[in-house]
């Protein structure tokens, strides 16, 4: 077990080594039998009705259903009111039916090939779906809320998502010790031992802002738990280092012994709720079928499956035992089976009446009161995102001060705080101060803000400093953001473990719990999000389409070509844009609510802000919208301290809003008919273009327009800009390579809005395999090359499109 605590070791010894400790009353045995009946007959029913359908049944480990119910029973007895579960697909339908208690007809109708999907998204296969249910626990007679979180085919991907949702539920209830909310994670043995996200999730369990105060892990272990053949049995199915890594006791139990399973699960639940620590229950069983019901395991495991086919099902074995000891009669057992079979048949009959599949009936994280009763936004408008100047000033003053007395800060930090105070007096902000004002204003409005990631407290580029450290008292810290107003919402800023996959999944789960929180994950560099690609692809990009699950998580991805090499330059905007669902070829119908309607119809929002004010506004808009969408922000690096990259309070006060497009506002805009070239760009390259235009004295001949919101594409504003300069050549300029960045996304959309009457020429770096060079000189040469092309007004003469 690798437990160093003597008290905990003694506790475990007492639970397992005390003679006669595993005693069950007749009532408990009968309840266990009834639960086994439901577990096994459910699988039998599905097999009879849909013999050729994949369902990833639980045959071989039917005892998992009473195991999970026992964990919930014991936890409810000890005060738990909310249990959040995550699991792969094996046995999911059975858990939905017999643990969560999903209506059987809603499960059965999923097998109907003629069932029409409601217009709620693309949906998902039935054995990936989740569920939320509030009910009475029949054993404790207490209210219990159960959530089974939807999961893709990536078996362990849901683990950190469940932990994040659990942490959020604990936070909103004030349940700091995890006495009201807990999680259960179900694993397969191969995935538990082999997939790294399992251990990323375990490693979060002891971090202050990530701990959920212990999780009960149940492993469905497809080892041959029943055999006496030493060639086919193992005393422990995992290497000893697994136990060391997870830092939790692992209780191995034979799944063919239901009473032992129930006892061990009860002990595991008691352990978690006593010591607030993780625990693993290893159900050593077998899989009666192959990978799924269509798979033939005899192809590759003939000897093993000859043994498996000889096995007496656990239900019959346990029923025979209880009948032999006169706990139940054969008639009572048969009546229990007949009773559940009748329930299934009646539900099957009702399921035939269902003609439409409503994905929202499978929602795992509802937000009561946020949407209408039909699940629609209460409006299709968004208020302005500016705030009163006195609020800006107040936040700026707090951001430049130390709220605690006798608190010694670093001298270098004193200069940073002095700089903030100076900017506040001058009514201007840089990126860090704009972010501070966005967060602070939301806290004033009662919105919880949580910022998570590697080194986010200080900021990767030492620009944020949201946590101050006393230079003379060890571990004494101060978070000025939590000293803005007496009745403000709490601000959480937390350095994560060195993980992207697990931590991003955690924050996604955290954002699932409530729409009234701004939850942000920041990558150390935008390039590093690719180790969390599974969460981005399977949950963030597609979550609403598959599971009708709104989520407002914000990804902050530092991005920019600055000669820092191929792993510290690109957040891969092309990947996010490729997964955006807006149609490049559909000419939109413009209406009064076009801007908000477009946001509602998209799967996520992708922005690259060029000013601190716009960054401030897009963060506030994320909360003020009447719905929630993931927000991808490509954030700056060098612009954090660029002298030109500052905004005035005038761009942030009441009445101002996020600008999807920032048009040219200089000399060229005053005489648009004289402009020969209109350059569209996004992000940091704007500052390079403005400098070069000035150097070449082309301010009156070249206009530069910034695309701040890239997806969904601002067709209306791009159309307006192009029409404003009818004689101008249109150019798209980016610092990324041509096969990366934004060009492949914007080009067809420009063609659509321009009805293919004018080309949009590309200016930028040539196609490449790596996103950036590691050579500083090569970087500067390629920068000069494309800037020269951008302002060469004859560059495209004679070319056709």
- The pLDDT value given to residue 121: 74
Mean pLDDT over residues 300-305, rounded?
A: 86
* 330 phi and psi angles, rounded to 5 deg: -60, -40
Q: What integer pLDDT is reported at residue 230 of this predicted model?
A: 39
Question: What is the pLDDT, as a whole number, of residue 272?
Answer: 97
Indicate the range of 219-233, 490-504, 701-715 predicted with least confidence: 219-233
Q: Is the pLDDT of residue 456 over 50?
A: yes
Task: Write the CB contacts of 638 (distance below 8 Å, at least 6 apart in sequence).
Answer: 560, 562, 684
Contact of 463 with 677, CB cutoff 8 Å: no
Please enumerate in sequence order all residues whose Cβ is within 8 A of that of 674, keeping only pairs 6 or more positions apart, or say none.
668, 700, 701
Output the pLDDT for position 224. 57
Radius of gyration (C-alpha) of the chain in whole angstroms: 30
pLDDT in the model for residue 226: 46
Question: How many CA within 13 A on the CB side of residue 151?
Answer: 27
Q: What are phi and psi of 576, to 5 degrees?
A: -65, -40
Portion of the chain with pLDDT greater than 90, in percent: 83
Tens digit of each residue's pLDDT (9 = 90 or more) over 95-130: 999 999 999 998 998 888 777 777 667 778 888 888
Highest mean pLDDT among 249-263, 285-299, 423-437: 423-437
Residue 244 has a pLDDT of 65
Closest of 480, 496, 609 to residue 556, by C-alpha: 609
Query: Is pLDDT at 532 greater than 60 in this prediction?
Result: yes
What local confidence, expressed as pLDDT, does residue 236 receive?
Answer: 45
Identify the weakest region by mean pLDDT among 109-118, 364-373, 642-651.
109-118
What pLDDT does 53 receive? 87
Predicted confidence band of residue 242 (pLDDT cuts 50, 70, 90): low
* Domains of the chain with CATH codes: 22-288+315-362 (3.40.50.970), 389-559+608-651 (3.40.50.12470), 661-791 (3.40.50.11610)
* Residue 387 DSSP label: B
Give dist(CA 149, CA 547) in Å, integer: 10
Widest distance between CA atoms in the chain: 99
How far is the C-alpha of 25 from the C-alpha of 277, rounded, in Å? 29
Tell me the CA end-to-end span of the chain in Å, nearest whole number.
Answer: 69
- Predicted confidence at residue 296, as pLDDT, reads 86
Choose among 758, 772, 759, 760: nearest CA to 733: 760
Nearest to 370 by CA among 191, 470, 512, 219: 512
The pLDDT, as a whole number, for residue 119 is 62
- Over residues 162-185, the mean pLDDT reads 97
Q: In whole angstroms, give the CA distance from residue 407 to residue 469.
A: 8
Distance CA 2, CA 243 (A): 7
Tell whether omega for the bond before 712 is within 30 degrees of 0, i.e. cis: yes
Share of the chain above pLDDT 70, in %: 96
CA–CA separation, 99 and 146 (whole Å): 9
- pLDDT surpasses 60 at 420: yes
* For residue 232, pLDDT beyond 80: no
Q: Record the tokens describing residue 260, joined without a space.
A: 């032992």
Q: For residue 158, is pLDDT > 80?
A: yes
pLDDT of residue 243: 62
Pair 159, 86: CB distance under 8 Å: yes
C-alpha 540/C-alpha 549 separation (Å) is 10
Residues near 160 by Cβ (< 8 Å), separated by ≥ 6?
197, 200, 201, 204, 501, 502, 503, 504, 505, 506, 509, 535
């Amino acid at each position: 077990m690798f437990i160093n605590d003597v008290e905990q070791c003694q506790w475990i010894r007492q639970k397992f080594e005390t003679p006669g400790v595993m005693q069950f009353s007749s009532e408990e045995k009968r309840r266990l039998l009834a639960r086994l009946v439901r577990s096994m007959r459910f699988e039998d029913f599905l097999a009879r009705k849909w013999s050729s359908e994949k369902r990833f049944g639980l045959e071989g480990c039917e005892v998992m259903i009473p195991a999970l119910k026992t964990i919930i029973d014991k936890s409810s007895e000890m005060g738990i009111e909310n249990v959040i579960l995550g699991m792969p697909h094996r046995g999911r339908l059975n858990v939905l039916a017999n643990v969560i208690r999903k209506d059987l007809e809603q499960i059965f109708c999923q097998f109907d090939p003629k069932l029409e999907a409601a217009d709620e998204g693309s949906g998902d296969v039935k054995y990936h779906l989740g569920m939320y249910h509030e009910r009475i626990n029949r054993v404790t007679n207490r209210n219990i809320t159960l959530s089974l979180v939807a999961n893709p085919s990536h078996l362990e991907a849901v683990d950190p998502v469940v932990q994040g949702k659990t942490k959020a539920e604990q936070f909103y209830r004030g349940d700091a010790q995890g006495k009201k909310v807990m999680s259960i994670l179900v694993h397969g043995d191969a995935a538990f031992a082999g997939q790294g996200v399992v251990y990323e999730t375990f490693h979060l369990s002891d971090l202050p802002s990530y701990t959920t105060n212990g999780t009960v892990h149940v492993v469905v272990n497809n080892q041959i738990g029943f055999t006496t053949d030493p060639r086919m049995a193992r005393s422990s199915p995992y290497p000893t280092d697994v136990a060391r890594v997870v830092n939790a006791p692992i209780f191995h139990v034979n799944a063919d012994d239901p009473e032992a399973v129930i006892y061990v699960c009860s002990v595991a639940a008691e352990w978690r709720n006593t010591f607030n620590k993780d625990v693993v229950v290893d159900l050593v069983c077998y899989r009666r079928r192959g990978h799924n019901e269509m798979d033939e395991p005899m192809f590759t495991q003939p000897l093993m499956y000859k043994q498996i086919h000889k096995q007496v099902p656990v239900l019959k074995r346990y029923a025979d035992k209880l009948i032999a000891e006169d706990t139940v009669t054969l008639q009572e057992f048969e009546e229990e089976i007949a009773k559940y079979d009748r329930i299934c048949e009646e539900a099957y009959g009702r399921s035939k009446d269902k003609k439409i599949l409503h994905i929202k009936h499978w929602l795992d994280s509802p937000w009561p009161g946020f949407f209408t009763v039909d699940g629609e936004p209460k409006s299709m408008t968004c208020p302005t995102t500016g705030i009163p100047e006195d609020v800006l000033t107040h936040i700026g003053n707090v951001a430049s001060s130390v709220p605690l007395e006798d608190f010694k800060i670093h001298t270098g930090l004193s200069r940073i705080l002095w700089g903030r105070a100076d900017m506040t007096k001058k009514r201007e902000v840089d990126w860090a101060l704009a972010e501070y004002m966005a967060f602070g204003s939301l806290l004033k409005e009662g919105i919880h803000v949580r910022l998570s990631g590697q080194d986010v407290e200080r900021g990767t580029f030492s620009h944020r400093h949201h946590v101050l450290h006393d230079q003379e008292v060890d571990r004494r810290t101060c978070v000025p953001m939590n000293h803005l107003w007496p009745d403000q919402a709490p601000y959480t800023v937390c350095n994560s473990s060195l993980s992207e996959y697990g931590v991003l999944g955690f924050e996604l789960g955290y954002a699932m719990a409530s729409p009234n929180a701004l939850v942000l994950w920041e990558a150390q560099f935008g390039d590093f999000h690719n180790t969390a690609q599974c969460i981005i692809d399977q949950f963030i990009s597609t979550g609403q389409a598959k599971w009708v699950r709104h989520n407002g998580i914000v990804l902050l991805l530092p991005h920019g070509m600055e000669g820092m090499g191929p792993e510290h330059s690109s957040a891969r905007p092309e990947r996010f844009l490729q997964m955006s669902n807006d149609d490049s070829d559909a000419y939109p119908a413009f209406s009064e609510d076009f801007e908000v309607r477009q946001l509602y119809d998209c799967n996520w929002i992708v922005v690259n802000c060029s000013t601190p004010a716009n960054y401030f506004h897009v963060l506030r808009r994320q909360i003020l919208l009447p719905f929630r969408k993931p927000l991808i922000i490509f954030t700056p690096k060098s612009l954090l301290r660029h002298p030109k990259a500052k905004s005035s309070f005038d761009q942030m006060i009441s009445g101002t809003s996020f600008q999807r497009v920032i048009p040219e506002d200089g000399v060229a805009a005053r005489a648009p008919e004289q402009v020969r070239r209109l350059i569209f760009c996004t992000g940091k390259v704007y500052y390079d273009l403005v400098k070069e235009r000035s150097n070449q004295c082309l301010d009156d001949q070249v206009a530069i327009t910034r695309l701040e919101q890239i997806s969904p594409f601002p067709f209306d504003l791009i159309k307006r800009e192009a029409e404003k300069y009818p004689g101008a050549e249109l150019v798209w300029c980016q610092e990324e390579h041509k096969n990366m960045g934004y060009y492949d996304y914007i080009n067809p959309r420009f063609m659509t809005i321009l009805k293919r009457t004018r080309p949009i020429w590309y200016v930028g770096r040539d196609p490449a395999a790596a996103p950036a060079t590691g050579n500083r000189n090569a970087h500067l040469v390629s920068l000069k090359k494309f800037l020269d092309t951008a302002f060469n007004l004859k560059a495209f003469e004679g070319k056709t499109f």
